[in-house]
Amino acid sequence: MTKRELDKALIFFNRCKLYPINLYIYFFKPTIVKKYAFILLLAAIQLQAAHAQQKIYRDSVLKIMDKVANWQLRTWQRQGMQHPSWHWTNGACYTGIVALGQISKNPAYLKEMRVIGDSLNWNTGPNRFMADDYCIGQMYAQMDILEKQPKMIARFKVLADSIIANPHAESLEWKNNVASREWAWCDALFMGPPALAYLSTATGERKYLDIAVKLWLKTTDYLYDKDENLYFRDSRFFSQHEANGKKIFWSRGNGWVMGGLVRMLQNMPAGYPDRPRFVELYKKMAAKIASLQNADGTWHAALLDPSSYPVKETSGTGFYCYALAYGINNGLISHREYYPVVTKGWDALTSSVHADGKLGYVQQIGEKPETVSYDDTEVYGVGAFLLAGTEIWKLMASHH
């Protein structure tokens, strides 16, 4: 059977909703018998097989997410956290644990977030205006959305009001410790804007989304390369180049951006004035990122010079799978075009999970492309993995 014949059969099969009794009826129509009977039966078998595989695959997504999340929780319990519990690394991890907690029947995930929040008195980090230090505000706002406990966002709300009150007139050039006041590096677009956007959803107050959008666009105007549809990490990289002569665009750095972008869209009403600009930015980045996927299914540390960093890298890959799966689920990009990219990336991610649930190939804390190994892990990589898994689980459900 040719692909064209199968495609015709599938279209006919889906259009007629051919259950066994329908097949019996349609087979007695002479033109169908002559042209499609055998093909339709074969197509029915293939569709049923695909349906069964999809159910198994969806179950396997949740299973490996549990495995990775439980490894991380056990590690915290046995060894303590490597970084302070308010730290951005953990804040990024919490986003994935909250996402898993919302689809899992296991109450331990959200319970752990409550315990951590209570231990911090629901406060952010000590550097009040640095985006890294209020990344944890995403978890606080999401927990408040789920549980309606004002104490969870009371302190973050005060900080957010002070962010709004600041003039934000400073240049984003990487000097004078600008990162402690402005979103002058692309990673900040995951740390800060979504925290404020989720706070907007939690409180119903648009001003928090407005300031997130205003400052996102300021950073984008400064760091976004319109020719490549990618973000420089910060101004120091404007004139730097990889070994192959290409511009330096860091995989996880742009992964932070893509992850932050869809979390902004998730909290942006359909009629919000700047939403079309964010959707357009998302589509341009999605197309670019998809075109850069490597044969192993991942995105290596240097997006435009993957051969200089030949080993797969899972933190950037996790954020890309998350963002692309979200786009498919929400009708922003084509299922036909991007589904293979997402599933290939997810296969690469799951193959990087150790037998005990540890996620490997996570580039360590940094600011540019660097080498990575099978044993390297970090909590933000786990967060990206769980975010990706949650959206892929939804994707499997919606195309069940």
**Catalytic positions:** 187
The alpha helices in 267-353, defined as continuous H runs, are 275-291, 314-329, 335-350
Dmax over CA atoms of the chain, in Å, equals 80
- Backbone torsions φ then ψ of 241, nearest 5 degrees: -140, 155
The answer to whether 234 and 294 are in contact (CB under 8 A) is no
Q: Which residue from 220, 216, 185 is spatially nearest to 200, judged by alpha carbons?
A: 216
Tokens read off for 311: 């080993």
How far, in Å, CA of 128 to CA of 134, rounded? 7
In 10 A of CB 354, how many CB atoms? 14
b/e burial code for range 303-325 (CB count within 10 A of at least 16 → b): bbbbeebebbbbbbbbbbbbbbb
Lookup result for tokens 């296969």:
347
Tokens read off for 67: 């495995």
